[in-house]
Amino acid sequence: MQIQYLEIVTRDVDAVCAAYSSASGVQFGEPDPGLGNARTAKLMGGGLVGVRAPLRETEEPVVRPYWLVQDIEVALAAAVEAGGKVAHPPMEISGHGTFAIYLQGGNDHGLWQI
């Protein structure tokens, strides 16, 4: 399994980015509108970590891994078959790929197809 995108939703984007930068030496870029204005840095082995503020008043802080899959429709169907609930159906983000989110075991889980 490989994480393609690690999404961190926080109320203090700058502090989280500064802590990760200080601890690991990564550099975060400017906000990316295609990723909800997340500031991103490269992950080892490919993929990105993105740190962003909540997109709506009711969105709570969360850390959500998006697992790289070859066929997002098949992977999401398997997650649902295993008891997951679709929180966000597959949606393409121009220049980044297609993502989906499901809920299972009290956690958010993401899928990503490039």
User: What residues in the chain have per-residue pLDDT under 50?
Assistant: none
Nearest in space to 59 (alpha carbons), one of 108, 3, 6, 4: 108
pLDDT of res. 23: 96
The domain spans of the chain are: 3-113
CATH of region 3-113: 3.10.180.10
**Spatial contact of 16 and 51, defined as CB atoms under 8 Å apart:** yes
Exposure string for 57-93, b = 16+ CB within 10 A, e = fewer = eeeeeeebbbbbbeebeebbeebeeeebeeeeebeee
The model's pTM is: 0.94
